[in-house]
Structure 1
Amino acid sequence: MKQLLLVAKETYLRQIKSWAFLLMVLSPFIFVGFTMGVSYLTGSAANNSDKLAVVLSDSSLKKAFKGLDGVTLKYETETAAKKAQKAEDIPGYVFVDTSDNKIQATYHGHSSLAKDIKGQLLQVLGGLQNQLNIAEANLTPKQVKALAQEPQFKEEIKEKGDLKKAGKYITFFGLTFIMYFIILTYAGSTAQEIANEKGTKIMEVIFSSVPANLYFYGRILGIFGIITSHLGIYALGGFLAYKLLPNFEFSKDMIDIVKPMLDTIIDNLDWTMLFFAIFGILLYVVLAALCGSLVVRIEDVNKAVQPVMYLVVVGFIGAIVLGQQGHDNVILEIGSYVPFISSFFMPIRLINSYASTNEALISLGILAATAVLCTLYIGKSYAGLILQTDDVGLFKSLKRGLNHK
């Protein structure tokens, strides 16, 4: 056990300290940060130069206009607003006069007033004029209360399965794309790393002190630890973004639109899908390691890993095509129990309510058992696979290696 953990630790630290890993993990955050930074600067520029000025003849009305989007109250006189407009610090201004118990607003600008800002201003101006009218009419408190009566609007929402199903579909596609990305990334790097070790004298020295099977298990454990760290960083980043972004003004509108769907996705996240993804990734990484141990020349690694990629593509496309047919397909049902594609087929059956929880657990058990057994079986034959240097082709190398105990 100590030797296994030592190999896993060495594999984990070597990969996680590399610039390639750091760049791969941080690149999405850099891109999102850059995009948000541009949005913030653009928003700041808009706040500084594109806000409409509101000039009030009566400063006591300021409270009514505070908090309006796209409006500034920094100019106290019409002369100051005119100078700011001439200097292009503001696109225009509205002068609000309250003489003779009438609210009169005059807009000065080079282009038409935006509809959203105009709507906000008219709503505030209407409220102020209504207050003046009530004061002028000398109404009794009862009459004022009657005028203040507002219509009641209630929402009786009967939750449909559409939103829940949409959340499950998004979860499925999200997990599937993450699986594809992780498999594409780590299958290639795993095969490349093992192929680099193949045939070197250092492996004979290592196997003299560490059993080949423990060395292989340690490699897989280390790689899986890297994958877990990779996904954990993304999960933590997503959680922090979900919690912190609503506190920033420039992202509030976007969060208000996206948050309901995010809440639905989180609420409807099926834990079985996560386990299908975990064991599916493990199985494909083990297969990629096997492919890497079969090649003699480094340049043949990509060709050797292609069957693994084909399985991923077949599973992904098959699940999408068959899952959209509106009924449980025989191929979809059978495929949901085949370990190499069940991580794609069974989740889509669960989303469409084609499969029960018991069926999902049976499929998950078959997938988990296959992943573990493949790992154990390849580990026992790892010495024969990695030390074989004869260029006899992939299939013959596989046969020789697996026959070696």
Structure 2
Amino acid sequence: MNKYWIITKDVYLKNIKSVSFLIMLLAPFLALGAFYVIGQFSSSDSEDLQTGIVIQAETATLPELAAFKKEFTSYDSRESGEKALKSEEIDGLLLLTIEDNTVAAELLSEDSTSQEKLMGLNFQLSQLQTTLRSQALGLSLEEVAAINTPVNIEVQKISFNEAGNLQEETDFSGIRTLVGMMSTILLFIFIMTYASIIAQEIASEKGTRIMEVILSSVSSRSHFYGKLSGILLVALTQVAVYVVSFGIGFYWIKDRPSVAAFLAEFSLKDIFGEFLLFTLIYLMLGIFIYAVLAALCGSLVSKVEDVSKAILPVTYLSLAGYMIGLTLGLSNPGHAAIRITSYIPFISSYTMPIRLANDNVPLIQIILSLTILVVTLLALVMFSSKMYRSNVLIYNDNGIWAALKQSIVLMKNERQKNK
């Protein structure tokens, strides 16, 4: 046990002090800072420049155009508008033609126009055309508003208590879905990062051909568990830093009027409750099971250069769960694929948080899914630890499957000798 902790401590300190870990730790904060700065520049640019407009209408003094023109810089002719566009006084020129109560528009711009801006312009022009045509038909503004009044659908989340009676609940599926999606993205990032790290950690010693010396002084099981535990502690350290950072950020914004008003009406326990606890459990178990699989794959390669090929099973499995959770989770969280894969190990860590965010999943189903995941994890740990001694002593350049077959043969031969 003492040698196990020595290996764990060595692996942990070596990785935690590395420059790559520091970059990996700070990357999300740097990305958020970059997005914030870009957003600030974008907003300042949009405030400095606006779109010009030239209107050609049968009656240029239509009262309906007065409110519409306020948001634009008006020009008397196309030539004057193009001159302002050339001198960068405006960022675009809208040429508006109105004939027979029909609006036609052309937007001139040197740069690509964002879809958000085009959608906004399209909505404004549609409203203008509706107003013009309704007045031509002799409809009043009140009648037009009555025609365009949308149907309001009130969605009420319900559940049935133990007595079978219906009871209303507050719907927090929106914010819970956001947390579930964040969990899916974080799990994929952590798996892709630490699968490579743990595989390289094991393959590096094997590539230097010193594994025979190491295993002569420490058992293969202690060496395997020590390497695995050290990397998992590094991952837990990164998660802890993000949790603390989130707590500090929440402390700064909790007194803002909008946040305070929201928290006065709903508590965090009402919003998240058991959902957040189960999501964190699935996140940690997902990282753990993929780390074990990555360690097993890393022990099969003979050179560090082959690690990227060795962890392809980890990559494909993780990518499958990520795509199912992210795509179906956004479009149709109640899809059969989401429900079925929430019980399949390696995939359930991606899909069950999506189900928990959108459905009232019975506790028995959650326990069943977690039981399958934990049993698979324990079986994989036991299998990997048994295979580890044979794997690290095999140097096969014919690929991971050839090395695995050779390792299984070697393990069987050792068992027969021990009998």
Report if TM-score (shorter chain) is over 0.5.
Answer: yes
Tell me how far 1:34 sits from its aligned partner.
7.2
Following the alignment from structure 1 to structure 2, what is the Cα–Cα distance between the partners of residues 257 and 400? Answer: 64
Match of 1:192 in 2: 200
Match of 1:212 in 2: 220
2:291 is the counterpart of 1:281: no
Contact 1:199–1:386 under 8 Å retained in 2: no
Give the TM-score normalised by the residue count of structure 2: 0.60
User: How many residues of Structure 1 are paired with residues of Structure 2 in the alignment?
Assistant: 286
Higher mean alpha-carbon deviation, 301-310 vs 316-325, is at 316-325
Q: Deviations over 1:296-350 (max 9, x none)?
A: 2332221221221111121122234444436451x43332221121112222233
Q: Deviations over 1:343-393 (max 9, x none)?
A: 122222333326311111111111112112211221122121112112232
Counterpart pick for 2:398 among 386, 392, 395: 392
With over 3 angstroms needed to count, the CA separation of the structure-2 counterparts of 1:268 and 1:354, relative to structure 1, is closer
Following the alignment from structure 1 to structure 2, what is the Cα–Cα distance between the partners of residues 322 and 246? Answer: 33
Tell me how far 1:183 sits from its aligned partner.
0.6
With over 3 angstroms needed to count, the CA separation of the structure-2 counterparts of 1:359 and 1:236, relative to structure 1, is same
Letter aligned with residue 13 of structure 1: L
Match of 1:306 in 2: 312
**Structure holding more helix per residue:** 1
- 1:201 is paired with a residue whose SS is coil
Match of 1:226 in 2: 234
Following the alignment from structure 1 to structure 2, what is the Cα–Cα distance between the partners of residues 187 and 257? Answer: 43
Letter aligned with residue 325 of structure 1: N
- 1:239 is paired with a residue whose SS is helix
With over 3 angstroms needed to count, the CA separation of the structure-2 counterparts of 1:212 and 1:326, relative to structure 1, is closer
Letter aligned with residue 21 of structure 1: F
Following the alignment from structure 2 to structure 1, what is the Cα–Cα distance between the partners of residues 267 and 211? Answer: 48
With over 3 angstroms needed to count, the CA separation of the structure-2 counterparts of 1:12 and 1:257, relative to structure 1, is farther
Tell me how far 1:33 sits from its aligned partner.
5.9
Following the alignment from structure 1 to structure 2, what is the Cα–Cα distance between the partners of residues 229 and 388? Answer: 33
Contact 2:11–2:231 under 8 Å retained in 1: yes
Following the alignment from structure 2 to structure 1, what is the Cα–Cα distance between the partners of residues 216 and 333? Answer: 57
Gaps of 5+ in 2: 41-155, 158-167, 415-419
Tell me how far 1:35 sits from its aligned partner.
7.2
Letter aligned with residue 17 of structure 1: K
Give the TM-score normalised by the residue count of structure 1: 0.62
With over 3 angstroms needed to count, the CA separation of the structure-2 counterparts of 1:8 and 1:246, relative to structure 1, is same
With over 3 angstroms needed to count, the CA separation of the structure-2 counterparts of 1:30 and 1:253, relative to structure 1, is farther
Q: Deviations over 1:76-103 (max 9, x none)?
A: xxxxxxxxxxxxxxxxxxxxxxxxxxxx
Gaps of 5+ in 1: 41-157
Structure with bigger gyration radius: 1
Contact 2:7–2:230 under 8 Å retained in 1: yes
Contact 1:213–1:381 under 8 Å retained in 2: no
Contact 1:385–1:398 under 8 Å retained in 2: yes
- 1:355 is paired with a residue whose SS is coil
1:39-188, aligned counterparts within 5 Å? 163-188=171-196
Letter aligned with residue 21 of structure 2: F
Following the alignment from structure 2 to structure 1, what is the Cα–Cα distance between the partners of residues 217 and 296? Answer: 22
With over 3 angstroms needed to count, the CA separation of the structure-2 counterparts of 1:334 and 1:16, relative to structure 1, is same
Following the alignment from structure 1 to structure 2, what is the Cα–Cα distance between the partners of residues 167 and 287? Answer: 32
Quote the sequence identity (%): 34
Letter aligned with residue 12 of structure 1: Y
With over 3 angstroms needed to count, the CA separation of the structure-2 counterparts of 1:326 and 1:232, relative to structure 1, is closer
- 1:339 is paired with a residue whose SS is coil
Contact 1:192–1:292 under 8 Å retained in 2: yes
CA RMSD, Structure 1 to Structure 2 (Å): 3.4
Contact 2:7–2:226 under 8 Å retained in 1: yes
2:356 is the counterpart of 1:344: no
Following the alignment from structure 2 to structure 1, what is the Cα–Cα distance between the partners of residues 251 and 371? Answer: 35
Higher mean alpha-carbon deviation, 21-30 vs 221-230, is at 21-30
Following the alignment from structure 2 to structure 1, what is the Cα–Cα distance between the partners of residues 275 and 260? Answer: 21
- 1:381 is paired with a residue whose SS is helix
Match of 1:17 in 2: 17
With over 3 angstroms needed to count, the CA separation of the structure-2 counterparts of 1:266 and 1:327, relative to structure 1, is closer
Contact 1:245–1:255 under 8 Å retained in 2: yes
Contact 2:325–2:354 under 8 Å retained in 1: yes
Tell me how far 1:219 sits from its aligned partner.
0.7
2:243 is the counterpart of 1:235: yes
Contact 1:192–1:301 under 8 Å retained in 2: yes
Letter aligned with residue 24 of structure 2: M
Following the alignment from structure 1 to structure 2, what is the Cα–Cα distance between the partners of residues 220 and 315? Answer: 23
Tell me how far 1:227 sits from its aligned partner.
0.4
Tell me how far 1:270 sits from its aligned partner.
2.9
Following the alignment from structure 1 to structure 2, what is the Cα–Cα distance between the partners of residues 201 and 300? Answer: 15
Match of 2:2 in 1: 2
